[in-house]
Amino acid sequence: MTTAWIDGQPVSTGEAVREAAKLLSSSRFPLVWGSFDDASALREGTRLASLAGGVIDHRDLPTIVPLVEALRDNGMIRVSPGEARRRADRVLVLGSDPFESRTELFEQIFSVRPDLGPAKENAREIVLLGPASASAGAFASAAGEVRSIACPDGEIGDAVAILKAALAGRPFHDGPFEEGGARALAGWLKDAAFAVIVFDAARLDAIAIEVVAGLVSDLNTDTRASALPLAPGGAMGAAEAALWTSGFPLRTGFGRIDPDHDLVLNAADRLLSSGEADARLALCLGDARLGDHDVPTVLLTGGEGVEADRARIVFSVGQPGIDHGTVVHEARFGSFVSRPAERSSMLPNAADILSAIADEVGARVSSNDEARR
């Protein structure tokens, strides 16, 4: 079974690894980019980027950038889904249904009544602040009383700022609320035994997320409340793994010995468009594609032959969690879980290929260092 090609010709894995290492180590500033949902692949990918003096980025990073910025610059009081399930007697849901593609998470939190804390006998009360209607979508089946307050997605940040002002007794404009509505909703949060404010972190900007964190912080002066930002597990897991391997939550460059964290400068698209990245390694699983950029490429692809003609060196790799075991960030658990392979497969693990290329790049770097001495 052939799983590696150079210029379209089948080769041994070892040969392709050496060629990939040659390409990446002779590059000025290589980009390592792609579907790094599997923490094992991310760990090896970071090692490779670091040894090759390049950049590492995740294809879905834009979905977590606002949350990363808000956490980094402001902080937050936040809650795990499991604890929200058991304690949250009042839940404020921000924006268009954040659980739209998160059925399991929705079930985990909303299929039961809270059973811990002073409000455990009460039904859960849920307020949808957003375009969604209380009778539509998943919330129709929530175990609790649901009502909605109409608010366009673009005004969620303002609406939360109004709640914050109402809570503090400062003057405010009614915004999307009826007269007296903001004060009533702020009071409703304040009188909760344990209020949770949940939102899709990809739909708010960093400032809006900071305002939510500010409201939660203010509520905690007297009562208990916590934020539950929802973020895609793949990108979040990659950011977590990048934090311990590089010190930063991704978009990290290693061109100047110490890692450089910059969400804008190190964005894959920008590096490719500007020509700063003169080679790339792309890990394309699922629907990930290379895009329009024309740059010498090492492709690790999970789909048979997908875009193989656009890369100099191609490795066919297995699907994490299907062809081989995987380590992923599980939103319901709020941490990493490992999952075994679902079937026996001859396809290589992308993490192993990345590791082999990193070893080879490392050997080249040290032999160059020796030569210079």
Partner 1 sequence: MLTRLKGGHVVDPANGVDEVRDLFIEDGKIVAAPTDAGSAGEVVDCGGLIVMAGAIDIHSHIAGGHVNTARLLLPEWHRAFSARPGDTALSKVGWTTEETGLRYAEMGFTTVVEPAMGPQSALHAHLELADIPIIDKATLVVLGNDDLLLSMIRDGESADAIADYVAWTVDASKALGVKCINAGGSAAFKENVRSYAFDAEVPDYGVSSRQIVKALQRAVKDTGIPHPLHVHCNNLGMPGKSAEAAEATIMASEGLPLHLAHIQFYGYGTEGKRGFSSKGQELAALVNRNPDVTVDIGQVMFGQTVTISSDEMRQFAGRAQASPGKSIILDQEANGGGVVPMNYQEKSFHNALQWAIGLELFLLIEDPSRVFFTTDHPNGAPFTTYPDIFALLMDRDMRQTWIEALPKGVAKWTSLPQIEREYTLNEIATMTRAAPARLLGTKDRGHLGVGATADISVYRPNEDKAKMFAAAAYLFKDGTKVVENGAVIARPYGRALTLKTQSDAAMGSRLDRYFDDAYGLDSRWFKVDGGALRRDMPFREVPCL
Applying CB under 8 A, the residues found at the interface with partner 1 are 39-40, 43-44, 68, 71-83, 85-87, 107-109, 111, 116-118, 120, 193-194, 220, 223-224, 226, 239-241, 243-249, 256, 258-261, 325, 327, 330, 332-338, 340, 351, 355
If the CB atoms of residues 200 and 240 are measured against partner 1, the closer one turns out to be 240
Least CB distance to partner 1 at residue 87 (A) = 6
If the CB atoms of residues 76 and 162 are measured against partner 1, the closer one turns out to be 76
Phi and psi (nearest 5°) for 319?
-90, 125
If the CB atoms of residues 130 and 232 are measured against partner 1, the closer one turns out to be 232
Least CB distance to partner 1 at residue 299 (A) = 23
Longest dimension (CA), the chain: 76
What is the token pair recorded at 365? 């770097």
If the CB atoms of residues 20 and 351 are measured against partner 1, the closer one turns out to be 351
Q: Exposure string (b/e) for 24-41, b if CB count within 10 Å is 16 or more? A: bbebebbbbbbbbbbbbb
Least CB distance to partner 1 at residue 98 (A) = 17
If the CB atoms of residues 18 and 261 are measured against partner 1, the closer one turns out to be 261
Least CB distance to partner 1 at residue 309 (A) = 32
What is the token pair recorded at 275? 């020509």
Structural contact between residues 224 and 195, judged by C-beta atoms closer than 8 angstroms = yes
CA 244, CA 88: separation in Å to the nearest integer?
32
Structural contact between residues 201 and 67, judged by C-beta atoms closer than 8 angstroms = yes
121: part of which helix (H) or strand (E)?
Answer: none
If the CB atoms of residues 79 and 166 are measured against partner 1, the closer one turns out to be 79
- Look-up of token digits 């090609």: 5
Least CB distance to partner 1 at residue 239 (A) = 8
Least CB distance to partner 1 at residue 320 (A) = 11
Least CB distance to partner 1 at residue 300 (A) = 17
If the CB atoms of residues 309 and 342 are measured against partner 1, the closer one turns out to be 342
For CA atoms 128, 131, 134, 139, give the dihedral sign. Answer: negative
* DSSP 8-state secondary structure symbol assigned to residue 54: -
CA 188, CA 262: separation in Å to the nearest integer?
40
Least CB distance to partner 1 at residue 224 (A) = 5
Per-residue CA distances from 78 to 67, 69, 141, 217, 234 (Å): 12, 15, 25, 10, 20
Least CB distance to partner 1 at residue 115 (A) = 8
If the CB atoms of residues 121 and 287 are measured against partner 1, the closer one turns out to be 121
Pairing of β 297-301 and β 225-230: unpaired
Helix, strand or coil, per DSSP, at residue 283: strand
If the CB atoms of residues 88 and 166 are measured against partner 1, the closer one turns out to be 88
Residues in the chain: 373
- Look-up of token digits 């094992």: 40
